[in-house]
Every structure is written in structure tokens, then in C-alpha cells.
Amino acid sequence: MSRDLFECLYWGEGNMSMFGRWFILLISLQGYKAPFTPNVSCLIVNLDFVNCSWTEQGIPEKNSTFFHNRFNTQSEHMEECSTYLYEKGCTVGCRLPFKHSDRFTTLRTKLVHQNQSYMQNHNLKNMVQLYPPANLSVEISTNRTLNLYWNNSKNSICTESEVNYRINNNEWKSFTPRREQNFSLHFPSKSSRYEFQVRARLKSLCGESKLWSDWSQIAVWDSMKESNNAGISGDTNILWKLLLSIVGTTIFLMLACMLVYWKRERLRLILVPIVPNPGKNLKDFLDSDNEEARLHISKDVCFQPNFNERACPVREYIQVPQTGSISDSESNRSMPIDQSDCLLFIQRCPPVT
């Protein structure tokens, strides 16, 4: 066997053996999971309570048991958490009671996970997170100054606020934190849209916290509409939409009911027309003074006259000249007219008893 062929077989065998070792190592690592080494982090929420959690490495597959010393450094006794926080059925945190004096003491915690304990000490003086500011409102003054107002969740003496604003969806601009709960912007553009948001934290006067609150809801002022809206996705818009939908539905139902009633009345009049009362209508007609309409009444219709005047004969007279005689034609004009036609309409009625 030549030297070159020997070297080729040697290096090929070496490479195969190395590949086999890596293959065996990969197979052995299948199903291997890194040990769960939780890190408990605690913070004071709005100076009301303490939240401790152990989810930095994700949600554990099994429940853990949490103990704490209630900020009592003089005692070695630790008690179990009374209010656990859950996620996907597993314990992921604990909520502890809190007093203002506890902020400057040390909290000792112990987390027990699968028969292993993890002890930690927590200094929470600068781990305070306030709730976001609320009730944002924007007003324009007579001197063309745009004023923003808000309310912080805690005493304004110990809090400072940072204001962000932007114009027409451009980049946000921040202002130096301030103790006051108001902000002014002079001479806003008459053709622009302004958006504001605020966040707060404890200031150095009361032990500065390194945690800011979340940003508040956005307050909007539109110079074209001369209006402002605090929280464009807040509860106010939802309430107005709900109210308008209720009013619109009510009006639609009322119109539908009126239309159905009107259709029913028209259909009823078509199918069952109203039959007039002939006796009542004739009596009302005869009692009226419409003489022209009475001429079209048949002579066979009898009625009782409502007057007592005596029928008078009617004659036609002509003027007789002072001299001369009356001719035959003129004398005929002076003949009385037959009264039978005049009294015919009345004579056909039965006598009054």
C-alpha cells in the first residue's frame, strides 16, 4: 500500500470517529434541560402593596412555595405567602402587604422549588412604581396658550411628572420633570393637531425611585375643531358610542312601529271601509243652509220642515204706465203663477200630529 493511500485512510478514519463522538453527544443531550435557577424580583406598587415575581426565566412547570420575613429584620421567622399570583395554573408571584416605613427596611425572601431553596435580600427604597397619571384635559386660553392638566395617583409633594407631546404625529418631545400637575404650550399652531402624555415617579425629596410609571392615556387637542379629547381610546368615547347607538336604535324602532301602524290603518280602511250613517248625514244636511244642494234632492224624499211660516203666493207684477191701456200680452204677465208647484214639496209630507 502506498504512503498516500495510507494517509488518506488514516485521516478519513479520524474524521469519522470525531463525527461519531459529536453525534453521540447530541443524542445524549436530547431531553436535557437547564436547571431552573429562579431570580425573585420585588417592587412596591403605588406605595400600596409589594409584588414579588420569579418569571425571568419563563413560567415554571411546577409550583413554587414563597416565604418572606414581613420586612422584620430582627426576626428569623419567615411565613408563607398568603396571596399568590397565578399564570397558566402555576404560581408566578406573591402579593405582600406594605406600610410606608417598610420601604427603608430589607425584605428577605425564600423560594422553594423542587426541594431546593433560594434565599434573597431586597432593598426596595428605589423600587417604587406609581400608577399612570389620570384625568388629562387640554384647554386653550384667551391669550392663545394651550394648557394641559392631570392628576397623579399619590401626593404631588413627593411626585414629579414628565410630559411628552408631539405635533401632527411627528416625533415625541420630552420636557424636564416638574412637580406641578400642569403644562403650558404658548401660541400653538392653528392648523396642527397636538397629542400629550404624562408619566410620574417619586422624586428625590422623598427618596427617588428609579422606576417611572407607565405613560398615561393620550390627550388630544385639534386646533381645527377647537376641541380636546383625553384618551382617544378611553372610556369617554366608548360611552358616547354606546349612548348614540342606544338613541339611534330607539328612534329606528319608533319609526318602524309608526310605519306598521300606518300600514295597518290603511289596510283596514281598504278591507273594511267605514259605512256612513245615512240618517245622521241626511239630518245634518237638511239642517244646513245650503239651499243649492237641496235642489238636487228627489221629490219623493219627505222631511219635516223646521219652520212655521205660512206659504205665500207668488205673482209677477209689471209697472202700469200712467196713461194708456194695458195690452193683452202685458195683462197675461200679471196673471198669478200656479202655487201648486211652490207647495208641492211640502204637501207630499204627512201632516204633523
The beta-carbon contacts of 233-242 under 8 Å, at least 24 apart in sequence, are none
pLDDT of residue 75: 78
Per-residue pLDDT reduced to its tens digit, 40-80: 999 999 999 999 999 888 888 888 999 999 898 887 889 99
The pLDDT of 195-213, averaged and rounded, is 93
The third-level CATH classification (topology) of the domain covering 41-128 is Immunoglobulin-like (2.60.40)
Rounded average pLDDT over 74-94: 90
Q: What is the CA radius of gyration of the chain?
A: 53
Q: Among 114, 125, 124, 119, which residue's Cα sits nearest to residue 91?
A: 114
The answer to whether the 41-128 and 131-233 domains have the same CATH topology is: yes
Fold of 131-233: Immunoglobulin-like (2.60.40)
Write the pLDDT tens digit of every residue in 260-311: 777 666 666 665 566 665 555 555 655 555 555 555 555 555 555 555 656 6
The amino acid sitting at 274 is I
Between residues 321 and 128, the one the model is more confident about: 128
Nearest to 340 by CA among 305, 316, 322, 314: 314
> Tell me, what's the pLDDT at 67?
95
**pTM above threshold 0.85:** no
Residue 241, SS3?
A: helix
How high is the pLDDT of residue 245? Answer: 86
Q: Tell whether the model's pLDDT for residue 249 goes beyond 70.
A: yes
- Where exactly are the structural domains of the chain? 41-128, 131-233, 235-274, 289-319+336-353
Give phi and psi for 191, each to the nearest 5.
-125, 30
